[in-house]
Amino acid sequence: MPVHNAEIAELFNRLADLLELEDANPFRVRAYRTAARNINGLSHSLVDLLAAGEDLSKLSGIGKDLAGKIRTIIETGKLPLLEQVQARTPAELSDLMKIDGLGPKRVKTLHQQLHISSFEDLQRAARSGKIRALAGFGAKTEALILERLTRSRQADIRSRLADAEDIAGPLVNYLLDCTGVKQVNIAGSYRRRRETVGDLDILVTAKQGTPVTDHFVAYDEVSEVISHGKTRSTVHLRSGMQVDLRVVAQVSYGAALLYFTGSKAHNIALRKLAIRQGYKLNEYGLFRGDKRVAGRTEAAVYAKLGLSYIEPELREQQGEIEAARKGTLPELVSREDIRGDLHCHTRATDGHDSLEAMVAAARKLGYEYLAITDHSKRVSVAHGLDHKRLLEEARRINKLNEQLDDIVVLKSIEVDILEDGSLDLPDSVLGQLDLVVGAIHYKFNLTRKQQTERIIRAMDNPHFNILAHPSGRLLNQRPPYDIDMEKIMQAAVERGCFLELNAQPARLDLTDGDCMLARELRLKVVISTDAHSTGTLDYMRFGISQARRGWLEPDDVVNTCGLDELRKLLKRN
């Protein structure tokens, strides 16, 4: 069976967790974590690279030993060293470390003193008040653990959009390979581009007699067949995701796609509108009595109801139907509107590729500009730049720009916002850059007032331009820190700053609701990838999806501007 990059990365991360619990050599632990991070950042499948004869040891952060382990995983589905470690240390302890606030030291304490080895053990101990009695914990920590445990287990039900894409892409291609299949579309929250996805709903049209469902249940990643009929089947994949497949008649395809795309609230509102106009709307079509009057396409259904076509990302019953009736739907931003990326990293800090490689990849994307925003010195784990190394990088960028005529590389930094709101590098250095991206990487637990004031004080610095990943959240891993987002946005408008929509699939920060608020406050948003490799510059598509869900148009996005207009926008009020 094919092995996905995410599965290989998960095995290395789990091994690193368990080795850390055993107090193994920290350099060894870090090597596995680095490999996992780099694998997650690859734009190509390791299975495909190996099949093409590529030397995996030449990949960033891999080397010969790890390349051999990757080959073993791909060929056998197993990592023997992990199995050896799991024989000594319960594998479930690695899962506990994924709960925000439970690092290796605390998990080790819980295991040794309370014999906690699972989520169930942890929940029982927290509810019975046993955790608060341990040194270094207390009642407040116990309550937080219980809250985060509940949130974590709810999040496990849904996959991040990028992970769902990795699962869905090969499955769609497999279905299209079935002779007689005409169309394959994934509906549901996947098509609406929600940041997380539960199940996959797949709609297929095919020539009569095509054994689509037989082909579907024979997919090599199916772990369990829940049901199997001629027009509908349901399976569980090896990843744990449930997939429902429906074979639909061409005459009803648009209505079915509309129905199964959702959202539920959007569908209910459409059905009520149809009833008021004397129609009946369901997954088979739009009917006047027994006569189908539309259903072959979604656009035909909307048109018959007197509505402009509503893009899937907008179908959340947040005013889109009324806007479609009035003809005031937004002209949503698209990938083609983006002129450059204002947040990416090189191997000077924690990126995987060189400055030159990142710029070459941006040129292939047709960008007019690319900002290099390596970390500042406060992020020591990423080998952040002090002022000397930053100015040396700036000189390299200036020299590179002299050789380029189709793209401009912008000198920048992802500078840490310190606890008091000051920035990690002096103004004398920041003033020599083209733009400054500020970010919080520590002290997430300040009060709402303290965290909000910290960010606004950073914005007071005349060199500050963009607030990166504004809420600090990591999907399914870490909740956002507590801030007054509206107050921060208003402060940004007053100071001539911008907020970033970070397109990293683990972040997607801002939320779609935050994007709507920014639009209402007339605050422009920067869609950036925070790319750590050439391949992850393509994460822009996830940021675009999130922006579209937030009703953003090209004029609402800073990096749809050409370079001259961008430079004007970056000049502070």
pLDDT at residue 156 greater than cutoff 60: no
Give the model's confidence band at 257: pLDDT under 50 very low, under 70 low, under 90 confident, else very high: very high
* pLDDT of amino acid 117: 81
Give the model's confidence band at 153: pLDDT under 50 very low, under 70 low, under 90 confident, else very high: low
* One-character DSSP codes across 7-67: HHHHHHHHHHHHHHHTT--HHHHHHHHHHHHHHHT-SS-HHHHHHTT--GGGSTTTHHHHH
Q: Say which amino acid occupies 392.
A: E
* One-character DSSP codes across 134-184: STTTHHHHHHHHHHHHHHHHHHTTSEEHHHHHHHHHHHHHHHHTSTTEEEE
pLDDT at residue 545 greater than cutoff 80: yes
What's the mean pLDDT in 256-261? 97
* pLDDT of amino acid 152: 61
Helix (H, G, I), strand (E, B) or coil at 293: strand
Most confident of 77-81, 141-145, 231-235: 231-235
Domains of the chain are 5-155 (1.10.150.110), 159-247 (3.30.460.10), 265-326 (3.30.210.10), 335-569 (3.20.20.140)
The region of weakest confidence among 140-144, 295-299, 427-431, 472-476 is 140-144
Helices (H), 499-539: 512-520
Give percent above pLDDT 70 in the chain: 98
Give the model's confidence band at 436: pLDDT under 50 very low, under 70 low, under 90 confident, else very high: very high
* pLDDT of amino acid 428: 95
* pLDDT of amino acid 144: 80
The residue written with tokens 């990592």 in the block is 79
Distance of CA 447 to the CA centre of its chain: 26
pLDDT at residue 16 greater than cutoff 70: yes
Higher local confidence (pLDDT), 192 or 157: 192
* pLDDT of amino acid 573: 64
Query: Per-residue pLDDT tens for 222-233?
Result: 999 999 999 999
Cβ neighbours for 390, distance < 8 A, ≥ 6 positions apart: 374, 376, 413, 425, 429
pLDDT at residue 263 greater than cutoff 90: yes
d(CA 146, CA 125): 9
Query: Per-residue pLDDT tens for 331-351?
Result: 999 999 999 999 999 999 988
Backbone dihedral angles phi then psi of residue 114, each to the nearest 5 degrees: -120, 5
* pLDDT of amino acid 504: 94
The region of weakest confidence among 7-16, 99-108, 110-119, 487-496 is 99-108
Higher local confidence (pLDDT), 325 or 21: 325
pLDDT at residue 238 greater than cutoff 90: no
Query: Per-residue pLDDT tens for 79-125?
Result: 999 999 888 877 777 777 777 667 778 888 888 888 888 788 888 88
Give percent above pLDDT 90 in the chain: 71
DSSP code, position 423: B
Give the model's confidence band at 151: pLDDT under 50 very low, under 70 low, under 90 confident, else very high: low
Q: What is the mean pLDDT of the chain?
A: 92
Intra-chain end-to-end CA distance of the chain, in Å: 57
* pLDDT of amino acid 150: 67
What's the mean pLDDT in 269-279? 97
pTM exceeds 0.85: no
What's the mean pLDDT in 240-250? 94
